[in-house]
Structure 1
Amino acid sequence: MDRASTNDARTREARRNLRSLIHDTERNRHEYLNPESDKLCSTLLKSDDLYENGLLGTTSCSEKVLEGKLLGNLSVLGKQRAQKLKTDTVVFDPTEFAEKIVTYLGGNRDGGDITFAPDVWTKLGEEVSPCFRGAPPLSPLYGSFVRGEPVKKAVVERRKKANEKEITRGPTNAEELRNFAELAEEETTSREVTKILNILKREYRASNSPLCYFEFVVNPESFSQTIENIFYCSFLVRDGLVIVSLDDDKLPVIQPCEEGASKKKKLEQNQLAFSITKPQFKKCVETFKITSSMIPTRSSGPSQPAASQPL
């Protein structure tokens, strides 16, 4: 037999052996993964024998593919088998551990109870202290240190004294200014509301009939003044000092309340939201032909209220 025929026979034998091993790894997968089986090790030894006998290691492309598939199967099986191994052979048993502690400390069993000597826990603490990282407790130096007032109590006393000083000192300058500004604003609002009420009473007595709401609050010279007038009138409605209603033409009219009606109105307060925009303001001036304001224009006053106020 010539050399070429010999090589062909060896190649066919190598392929047949490789296919057999590959088929075995795929068919007997569970046996390979069994921890008690040596199937994985024997297959590795067989593949090594193929190399040693010269049946593998050639340059044939088909053989390389078969070799790679066999090694891939063996690697996957080896990984899965390693994952199934249990490394926690020693399991912590709390009951067994407690029994060992009792035995070590020399506990006496009296029926169902276990008793220890008075200093046994100190002994246990000294034995296990090296296992824990903790700062040592503070102790008097040679016993000459006189223990003073507890730190926590001293801190509480200092905070208490600081709070008392704060109360005695009273509000700060910023708080005083804020309170003064709020008080001044309230006084200005109250003064303007009273002034508008007096104007409404005077105009009502002169005409002896309810006044057109828009003619009363609209200031043709200033949109902001109109908003302020609506704002101040809302307080009069809220307090039951004036009444805003609709006339026969479904237009709002305003009139002061009588003494008895005012008290009743306070018990039955009814408010609604009224808003006016700049174009609506101009339309009111043109429609009602308002040339002057019943409420005099204020030269200076409080900050401008919002354009929507309750009535």
Structure 2
Amino acid sequence: MSSQGSPRKEGLAYDPDQDPEEKREIRRNYRSLHKTIDDPHVDHTAVELETKVERANELFQNVKNPQEATLDSAFLVKTATINSRKARGLKFGTGVFDVDNFITKLTAFMGGYRPPEDAASDNSDVEEDDAPLEWAKIGRRALAKSRRVPAMGYMLGPLSLPQKQRAPHKPREKFEKNKKDETRPQELREEDIQRSENETTKNVAAVAAVLESVEKINLFKLVTNPASFAQSVENIFYLSFLVRDAKVAFETSEDTGEPVVFACEPPSDEDRAEAVLLKRQMILEFDVATWKRAIEVFDIREPFIPTRARAGTRLGKQWYG
């Protein structure tokens, strides 16, 4: 296949500047090869498969990009699968080797058994005794195929190995645990677990009370706690409930461009029915770097929302934060 467009780069396994028309032509040829072997009802001969692989090798000479190389790999996988299936289905001669038939013919060859047709042709009424097998006859025939001298060691084979004696069965000893070493789990009673009130509801109400004391406030000055990054994130979480319930409004100041929040009256049911209210969602990214930057830019020294005590749960005689 001749290449088109700009000349190819010799010796380059990957060429991102390969001519697009040339790549399309390579893909078309590979897809044609795939169609010829995709039909499961067609029995491909070994010669046909070899011809197709040689054709794929010719196409691979112009492959310079991963997409075309993938088509080549997929074609080789399909070809190998068909070859493997054909190899498993091969039969030599009449099929599986028949041991009984082989022994019967071998015995007849050494004179120890006569086929029924030979016995029928014998007019003698006297039954002959079983003659010994002529092993020398089969030995002369085997000698024509091999010059190797037989040795006695090969005749013994695995029978010369001493038989392993099985150890007498011993009953397994029952493992008894030392009850002194056992540690009983701590028992908890109903009065040991102190159920705390809903912290989220209480903290949302606290943030609402703080906002009622001011007209408008910078968002970062409100939520940032300079002593605790975790509580700053919690303040944003509690504030989001108030914004969702339309109890707090968020806007950008026209004078300074700062984000500000302020308390407001939520719309009544009549206002909701008369006006078409659209819900808007906002994602506020607040990481440690933003927290430190807010403290520096807005010179936050004290938290506007008071620092909350760390909550804990008592289980038995121990406290867990």
TM-score by length of 1: 0.38
Larger proportion of helix: 1
Structure with greater Cα Rg: 1
What TM-score do the two structures reach when normalised by structure 2?
0.37
